[in-house]
Chain A
Amino acid sequence: MTIRLEDLTVNFDERFQLNNINWQIEDNQHWVVTGANGSGKSALAAVLAGAGNCVGGQLSGVPPRVGLVSFEAQAALIEAELKKDDADIMDVIAEGTPVREILLNGETDPALVAELASLFGLESLLDQPFRKLSTGESRKMLLVRALASQPDLLVLDEPFDGLDVHTLAMLQQYLATLVETTPMVLVLNRFDEFPDFITHIAYVDKGRLEHQVDRNDASAYADLYQLLHLKTTDLQVPGADPDAAIAALDPTQPLVKLNGINIKYGDRELIKDLHWTIERNQHWQLSGPNGSGKTGLLSLITGDHPQCYVNDIFVFGFQRGSGESIWQIKQYIGYVSTALQWDYRVGTGLRNVIISGFYDSIGLYTKSTKRQRQIADQWLALLGMSGRADQPFNKLSYGDQRLLLIARAMVKHPPLLILDEPCLGLDDMNRQLVLALIEKICAGTETSVIYVNHHPEDQIQGIDNYLALEAAK
Chain B
Amino acid sequence: MSNNYFNTLPLRVQLEQLAKCRFMSMDEFSDGVEALKGKKMVVIGCGAQGLAQGMNLRDSGCDVSYALRDSAIAEKRQSWKNATENGFTVGTYEELIPTADVVLNLTPDKQHTSVVNAVMPLMKQGACLSYSHGFNIVEEGMKIRDDLTVIMVAPKCPGSEVRNEYVRGFGVPTLIAVHEDNDPKGEGLALAKAYAAGTGGHKAGVLMSSFIAEVKSDLMGEQTILCGMLQTGSLLCFDKMIEEGIEPGYASKLIQYGWETITEALKYGGVTNMLDRLSNPAKIKAFDLSEELKDIMRPLYNKHQDDIMDGTFSSGMMEDWANDDAKLLGWRAETAETAFEKTPAGDVEISEQEYFDHGILMVAMVRAGVELAFETMTAAGIVADSAYYESLHETPLIANTIARKKLYEMNATISDTAEYGCYLYNHACLPLLGDFMKGIKSDVIGRGLAVDDNGVDNARLIQVNAALRSHPVEAIGATLRGHMADMKKIV
Contacts and interface: CB of A to CB of B under 8 A. Distances in A.
B37 interface: yes
B331 interface: no
A310 B87 contact: yes
B60 A325 contact: yes
A241 B62 CA distance: 30
For B38, B55, B62, B168, the residue with the greatest tally of chain A CB atoms inside 10 Å of its CB is B168
Contacts of A22: none
B352 to A, nearest CB: 14
B491 interface: yes
Count class of interface residues, chain B: 20 to 34
Interface string A307-343: 1111000000000000111111000000000000001
Count class of interface residues, chain A: 20 to 34
B161 to A, nearest CB: 14
Given A266-B85, A361-B169, A364-B490, 15 more contacts: A303-B59, A309-B87, A323-B38, A325-B59, A326-B59, A327-B60, A328-B61, A352-B490, A356-B169, A359-B169, A361-B168, A361-B170, A363-B490, A364-B491, A365-B169
Interface in A348-362: 348, 352, 356, 359-362
Interface string B55-93: 100111111000000000000000000000111100000
A367 B26 CA distance: 13
Contacts of A364: 490-491
Contact of B169 (A266, A328, A348, A362): A362
Given A325-B59, A363-B169, A348 B491 contact: yes
Interface string B76-120: 000000000111100000000000000000000000000000000
B37 A323 contact: yes
Contacts of A328: 61
A360 B203 CA distance: 14
11 contacts: A306-B86, A308-B87, A309-B88, A325-B33, A326-B60, A359-B169, A361-B168, A363-B169, A364-B490, A364-B491, A367-B486
Q: Which 7 A-B pairs have the closest CB atoms?
A: A361-B169, A306-B86, A362-B168, A325-B61, A363-B491, A310-B87, A326-B59
A319 B59 CA distance: 13
Nearest to A266: B85
Contacts of A7: none
Nearest to B61: A325
Given A306-B87, A362-B169, A323 B61 contact: yes
Interface of B: 33, 37-38, 55, 58-63, 85-88, 167-170, 203, 486-488, 490-491
Interface string A358-398: 01111111110000000000000000000000000000000
A306 B61 CA distance: 13
Contacts of A326: 59-60
Given A323-B37, A323-B61, A325-B59, A365 B167 contact: no
A173 B289 CA distance: 67
A157 B386 CA distance: 72
Nearest to A355: B490
A346 interface: yes
Contacts of B168: 343, 361-363
A365 B85 contact: no
Contacts of A352: 490
Interface of A: 265-266, 303-304, 306-310, 323-328, 343, 346-348, 352, 356, 359-367
A354 to B, nearest CB: 13
A105 to B, nearest CB: 67
B235 to A, nearest CB: 32
B487 A365 contact: yes
Given A325-B59, A326-B59, A364-B491, A304 B87 contact: no
B169 A360 contact: yes
A359 B170 CA distance: 10
Contacts of A265: 85
A323 B491 contact: no
Nearest to A306: B86
Contacts of B88: 306, 309
Contacts of A363: 168-170, 490-491
Contacts of B491: 346-348, 363-365
B87 A348 contact: no
A24 B491 CA distance: 48
A356 B491 CA distance: 10
Contacts of A266: 85
Contacts of B87: 306-310
Contacts of A347: 491
A327 B59 CA distance: 8
Contact of A348 (B58, B59, B490): B490
Nearest to A304: B167
Contacts of B487: 365
A386 B167 CA distance: 30
B37 A306 contact: no
B490 A365 contact: yes
B261 to A, nearest CB: 16
Contacts of A359: 169
Nearest to B55: A306
Nearest to B491: A363
A159 to B, nearest CB: 47
Given A306-B86, A307-B87, A360-B169, A365 B58 contact: no
Contacts of B55: 306
A365 B170 contact: yes
A100 B63 CA distance: 90
Given A359-B169, A363-B170, A323 B488 contact: no
B415 to A, nearest CB: 26
A310 B85 CA distance: 10
Contacts of A356: 169
Nearest to A323: B61
Contacts of A361: 168-170
For A307, A323, A348, A360, the residue with the greatest tally of chain B CB atoms inside 10 Å of its CB is A323
B58 to A, nearest CB: 7
Nearest to B198: A325
A204 B63 CA distance: 57
For A306, A347, A352, the residue with the greatest tally of chain B CB atoms inside 10 Å of its CB is A306
B170 A324 contact: no
Nearest to B36: A323
Nearest to B81: A266
Nearest to A349: B490
A182 B483 CA distance: 66
Contacts of A323: 37-38, 61-63
For B59, B62, B170, the residue with the greatest tally of chain A CB atoms inside 10 Å of its CB is B59
Nearest to B487: A365
For B61, B167, B487, B490, the residue with the greatest tally of chain A CB atoms inside 10 Å of its CB is B490
B226 to A, nearest CB: 25
Nearest to A307: B87
Contacts of A325: 33, 59-61
Contacts of A304: 167
For A308, A323, A365, the residue with the greatest tally of chain B CB atoms inside 10 Å of its CB is A365
Nearest to A303: B59
A324 B37 CA distance: 10
B488 A365 contact: yes
A327 B202 CA distance: 15
Contacts of A309: 58, 87-88
B102 to A, nearest CB: 15
